[in-house]
Amino acid sequence: MATKQKRFILPEDEIPKYWYNIQADMVNKPMPLLNPKTKQPLTAEDLFPIFSKEASRQELNTTDAWIEIPEEVRELYKYYRSTPLVRAYGLEKALGTPAHIYFKNESVSPIGSHKINSALPQVYYCKQEGVTNVTTETGAGQWGAALSYAAKVFGIEAAVYQVKVSYEQKPYRKSIMQTFGAQVTPSPSMSTRAGKDIITRDPNNQGSLGTAISEAVELALTTPNCKYTLGSVLSHVSLHQTVIGLEAEKQMDMAGEYPDIVIGCFGGGSNFGGIAFPFMRHNILDGKKTRFIAAEPASCPKLTRGKFQYDFGDEAGYTPLFPMFTLGHNFQPANIHAGGLRYHGAGSIVSQLLKDKMMEAVDIQQLESFDAGCLFAKAEGIIPAPESCHAIAAAIAEANKCKESGEEKVILFNLSGHGLIDMASYDQYLAGNLMNYDLKDEDIQKNLDEIKDFL
Amino acid sequence: MATKQKRFILPEDEIPKYWYNIQADMVNKPMPLLNPKTKQPLTAEDLFPIFSKEASRQELNTTDAWIEIPEEVRELYKYYRSTPLVRAYGLEKALGTPAHIYFKNESVSPIGSHKINSALPQVYYCKQEGVTNVTTETGAGQWGAALSYAAKVFGIEAAVYQVKVSYEQKPYRKSIMQTFGAQVTPSPSMSTRAGKDIITRDPNNQGSLGTAISEAVELALTTPNCKYTLGSVLSHVSLHQTVIGLEAEKQMDMAGEYPDIVIGCFGGGSNFGGIAFPFMRHNILDGKKTRFIAAEPASCPKLTRGKFQYDFGDEAGYTPLFPMFTLGHNFQPANIHAGGLRYHGAGSIVSQLLKDKMMEAVDIQQLESFDAGCLFAKAEGIIPAPESCHAIAAAIAEANKCKESGEEKVILFNLSGHGLIDMASYDQYLAGNLMNYDLKDEDIQKNLDEIKDFL
């Protein structure tokens, strides 16, 4: 029986004091965000009406590789960080692979996912700047729960627009947000112009992240002393999430290994960037050859089948134009159970990195993701979030290749969250009621054609 | 801003190698378990038909203070142990108390509660002894989920009888068990004589832990190569849970403190004993004066209002007679949302300790428990299990006394599990739909009168 160490946890004084801003080291920087009216590059000041000033500055910072984590945020990180790095001996055994599989377990944060890592600094900056209300969107509810908790910590009011289909399918996440004192509204709602427009066109609209973002941004723009916060896609969100990879780097060192492959599931890019960027730094600067794999759902394949172009981040077109791999901001993804991955575009950093072949992407079908999640649950005892199941599926695919080739590769993936609030989805899977979704090329193209004249 | 350490985690080589068996140090040993037919004290051999041989021996071991944790179990503990000891600065601040509040966070185990600590060794011993099937009962489902996972780890089949009201109210826990591959049956069921008898008498019976135990024991007794396992009450279960308190002792030492008060919620006694017994050892042997408080629901008040006498552990009377504080094995507790605390009796060790005034007990009303749970959630970001809310309520009461007196007492409580599968209960609470339950003395007495002739 193996008696090697299984879990690696950092002492509190080893928790990172800086986030890593990969924009400073990228050979090709991301293209600028544009003002949709003037088509001119945005300045941080242009973002001030929407975001906190500090988040706005971080968003456009392409020069400073290291950005200090505020002491107050670090003190709050210490309640749950470092999260464990775990050697998945159980999964290795179940697969019969010679690969060494590690996962970074973000599911043991207070909120149950990585989202809290960015919610805390985003709300902290708002508080520092005298903001009294924050608003946001949420899909499955992981981000909304994190934001609600962070708002409570800093004594700020939170209003969350939750995608209607998730609001109804996953009522428990709504309850969590309400337990933290947040106001939760299903989106589309009648409380915003963006929501009303959609409901008028389509009274049975089940919502999307793009629509919920429109509603939350509108609320921020029309409410005094209220700022908008976002759970993924943006560069400053990925920046905050690099605490995951920076810890993992030290923890892999404790394990005496370095990853050959780093994997994250992919919605907008923040958990993927969070675990990948600190290791990618060594590919850029030190000649390491680690592969980075973003695992996205086959039903929402912006990285594998989308187009790189400028597009809006939301459905109504309130946001700046982002240079992104996109399926079109008007894309309506299928109602897969990985609600957090149902987003039409990829963040501008990841989009540039994919364009530059610094990383790869794979698409995972819904049934394959749950197959992987159940295998992992039985092997490791943790029920993974449906989103995280995509990363697990990609990790299993790589581990199986190692089995064929006999290679002892080191695979690291991010377990971005647990699936305890998503058991209804597992029920559906176990009952054989879930399906895969096949998108036709012509449907993707038709959708993209509608937005091709942005530039 | 405080920069003191918040979380204390042990290095892997500091994880306990022995469980602590308080029976060896007790001044007055627990009275013996009795054969209900002969009224003679049981031997370990008498228990072999029901439990694994090793669990049976541990159950009756009153001489060895330290019992080795099998290496295979310790290796599995290492996937999640040590659990963090956390200084609850957020809760202290919310209360404005000078008390130092710590909690042991068992909610970050793979299954989300402390139950896994005993599920692993119980199934391990079965596996070692060639058992192929295990069976058990579960209320809210915490224990059933832990047992299902442990069975999967050791490649044994698991059959779980879940109290019907919980099976229907908390379908997600059933899904978790099924995800791990267990067979889950709502109890009372038609699959056992005990179940059939109850359904025949009362077709709408919603089940109780006592009934589910009867069904599981019957299945074990009538199935070849099948053993029964139990999640609380028994002495060997509390023994396994002492890993909690043994770790906490080392972790409190890391924090430079020693608890004045140790608190656990109370169903059958295993999480309470788990955190309390290692510290109580120092009261017994070293003259420490720590107070130990068991927090039970006011609707199921065996410690505060029950009677110390011999009683069965189950509804049908299949088990031995236990010396216990009991409300009567025929007691039907109200449908409170802390399903894991709905049990009529207390384990024989705890019962003796309470009789000997080595510990105290308090009863907590349902609304008070959820008040405390929501306050804790907002302050610490963790949604506690309804069961754990009782410990939190007791800790808050003690912290508030410190506020009045100005004393800087050190309070330690066990956060036995998270409440993420119990959000429907929080919904009910937030909507104002939960109620308290008042038991009349005469109703308790009437119930006890029915069973007074056991000895």
Residue of A15, A71, A78 best to disrupt the B interface, most CBs of B under 10 A: A78
- pLDDT band at residue B455 under the 50/70/90 scheme: low
Buried b (16+ CB within 10 A) or exposed e, B281-298: bebeeeeeebbbbbbbbb
Residues 6 or more apart from B200 whose CB is under 8 A from it? none
| Percent of chain A's residues with pLDDT above 90 | 86
Shortest Cα distance from B391 to chain A (angstroms)? 19
R_g of chain B, CA atoms, integer Å: 20
CA–CA dist A149, B253 (Å, integer): 30
Q: Is the ipTM of this complex over 0.85?
A: yes
Facing residue for A179 by CB, picked from B9, B86, B426: B426
Say if residue A408 is exposed, middle or buried (CB neighbours under 10 Å; 0-12, 13-18, 19+): exposed
Structure confidence by residue, pLDDT tens digits, B32-58:
999 989 999 999 999 999 999 999 999
Structure confidence by residue, pLDDT tens digits, A16-40:
999 999 999 999 999 999 998 999 9
pLDDT, residue A168, reads: 86
pLDDT, residue A451, reads: 80
CA–CA dist B124, B227 (Å, integer): 12
Pairing of strands B291-297, B261-265: parallel
Shortest Cα distance from B326 to chain A (angstroms)? 34
CB B97 within 8 A of CB B399: yes
Residues 6 or more apart from A83 whose CB is under 8 A from it? A104, A105, A106, A108, A109, A244, A247
Residue of A420, A422, A433 best to disrupt the B interface, most CBs of B under 10 A: A420
Structure confidence by residue, pLDDT tens digits, A398-411:
999 999 999 999 99
Residues 6 or more apart from A202 whose CB is under 8 A from it? none
Q: Using a CB-CB distance cutoff of 8 angstroms, which residues of chain B are in contact with residue A3?
A: 71, 75
Shortest Cα distance from A16 to chain B (angstroms)? 15
Q: What is the mean pLDDT of residues B329-347?
A: 89
Q: In this complex, how many residue pairs, one in chain A and one in chain B, have their CB atoms less than 8 Å apart? A: 127
Structure confidence by residue, pLDDT tens digits, A273-323:
999 999 999 999 999 999 999 999 999 999 999 999 999 998 888 899 999
pLDDT, residue A1, reads: 44
Of A49-63, A435-449, B104-118, least confident by mean pLDDT is A435-449
Facing residue for B175 by CB, picked from A6, A175, A426: A426
Q: What is the mean pLDDT of residues A225-243?
A: 97
Residue type, A170: K
Residue A450 has pLDDT above 60, yes or no: yes
Of the candidates A442, A397, A398, A391, the one whose C-alpha atom is nearest the C-alpha of residue A419 is A391
Q: Using a CB-CB distance cutoff of 8 angstroms, which residues of chain A are in contact with residue B377?
A: 179-180
Q: Do B6 and A423 touch (CB under 8 A)?
A: no
Q: How far are the Cα atoms of B93, B155, B259, B363 from residue B99, in angstroms, in the given order? A: 10, 46, 11, 22
CB B341 within 8 A of CB B387: yes
Q: Do A75 and B423 touch (CB under 8 A)?
A: no
Q: What is the mean pLDDT of residues B337-346?
A: 90
CA–CA dist A429, A367 (Å, integer): 8
Say if residue B102 is exposed, middle or buried (CB neighbours under 10 Å; 0-12, 13-18, 19+): buried
pLDDT, residue B1, reads: 43
Q: Do B110 and A3 touch (CB under 8 A)?
A: no
Residue B68 has pLDDT above 70, yes or no: yes
Shortest Cα distance from A106 to chain B (angstroms)? 11
Residue B287 has pLDDT above 60, yes or no: yes
Q: In this structure, what token pair is assigned to residue B443? A: 């109703």
Facing residue for A181 by CB, picked from B116, B378, B426: B378
Shortest Cα distance from B261 to chain A (angstroms)? 22
CA–CA dist A394, A410 (Å, integer): 14
Shortest Cα distance from A2 to chain B (angstroms)? 8
Q: Do A6 and B181 touch (CB under 8 A)?
A: no
Nearest CA in chain B to A82: B7
Shortest Cα distance from B427 to chain A (angstroms)? 6
Please tell us whether the domain made up of B10-15+69-112+235-449 is placed in CATH 3.40.50.1100. Answer: yes
Residue of B169, B179, B389 best to disrupt the A interface, most CBs of A under 10 A: B179
Angle between helices A193-201 and A209-222 (to 10 degrees): 140
Structure confidence by residue, pLDDT tens digits, B288-330:
999 999 999 999 999 999 999 999 998 888 899 999 999 999 8
- pLDDT band at residue B5 under the 50/70/90 scheme: confident
Q: What is the mean pLDDT of residues B389-408?
A: 98
In 3-state terms, chain A is what percent helix, strand and coil (to 5)?
45, 20, 35
Task: Tell me how far the alpha carbon of residue A250 is from its chain's centroid.
Answer: 22
Task: Tell me how far the alpha carbon of residue A286 is from its chain's centroid.
Answer: 27
**Neighbouring C-beta atoms of residue B49, cutoff 10 Å:** 12
CA–CA dist B99, B83 (Å, integer): 22
Q: Do A7 and B149 touch (CB under 8 A)?
A: no
Of A359-373, B3-17, B142-156, least confident by mean pLDDT is B3-17
Structure confidence by residue, pLDDT tens digits, B81-90:
999 999 999 9
Angle at A448 between CA A445 and CA A450, to 5 degrees: 115
Q: In residues, how long is chain A?
A: 455
Of the candidates A243, A276, A16, A294, the one whose C-alpha atom is nearest the C-alpha of residue A109 is A243
Q: Terminus-to-terminus CA distance in chain B, angstroms?
A: 61
Ramachandran assignment for B207, one of left (phi > 0), alpha (psi -120 to 50 degrees), beta (any other): left
Q: Do B374 and A424 touch (CB under 8 A)?
A: no
Every domain of chain A and the residues it spans = 10-15+69-112+235-449
Q: Do B179 and A377 touch (CB under 8 A)?
A: yes
Buried b (16+ CB within 10 A) or exposed e, A184-193: bbbbbbeebe
State the residue for tokens 């190692």.
A402
Q: How far are the Cα atoms of A179, A355, B206, B335 from residue B169, in angstroms, in the given order? A: 19, 49, 11, 10
SS3 A59: helix
CA–CA dist A412, A304 (Å, integer): 21
Q: What is the mean pLDDT of residues A186-212?
A: 93
**Neighbouring C-beta atoms of residue B113, cutoff 10 Å:** 28
Q: Using a CB-CB distance cutoff of 8 angstroms, which residues of chain B are in contact with residue A381?
A: 79, 110-111, 116, 149, 153
Q: Using a CB-CB distance cutoff of 8 angstroms, which residues of chain B are in contact with residue A12?
A: 5-7
Residue of B80, B111, B433, B434 best to disrupt the A interface, most CBs of A under 10 A: B80
- pLDDT band at residue B3 under the 50/70/90 scheme: low
CA–CA dist A415, A392 (Å, integer): 8
Q: Using a CB-CB distance cutoff of 8 angstroms, which residues of chain B are in contact with residue A378?
A: 152, 179-181
Q: In residues, how long is chain B?
A: 455
**Neighbouring C-beta atoms of residue A418, cutoff 10 Å:** 25
Q: Is the dihedral of CA B348, B353, B354, B359 positive or negative?
A: negative
Residue B80 has pLDDT above 50, yes or no: yes
Buried b (16+ CB within 10 A) or exposed e, A364-400: bbbebbbbbbbbbbbbbbbbbbbbbbbbbbbbbbbbe
Nearest CA in chain B to A76: B6
Q: Which helix (H) or strand (E) holds B66?
A: strand B66-68
In 3-state terms, chain B is what percent helix, strand and coil (to 5)?
45, 20, 35
CA–CA dist B271, B287 (Å, integer): 24
Q: Do A6 and B180 touch (CB under 8 A)?
A: no
Is the bond preceding residue B82 a cis peptide, omega within 30 degrees? yes
CA–CA dist A386, A102 (Å, integer): 19
Over chain B, what is the mean pLDDT? Answer: 94
Q: Using a CB-CB distance cutoff of 8 angstroms, which residues of chain A are in contact with residue B2?
A: 75
Q: Terminus-to-terminus CA distance in chain A, angstroms?
A: 61
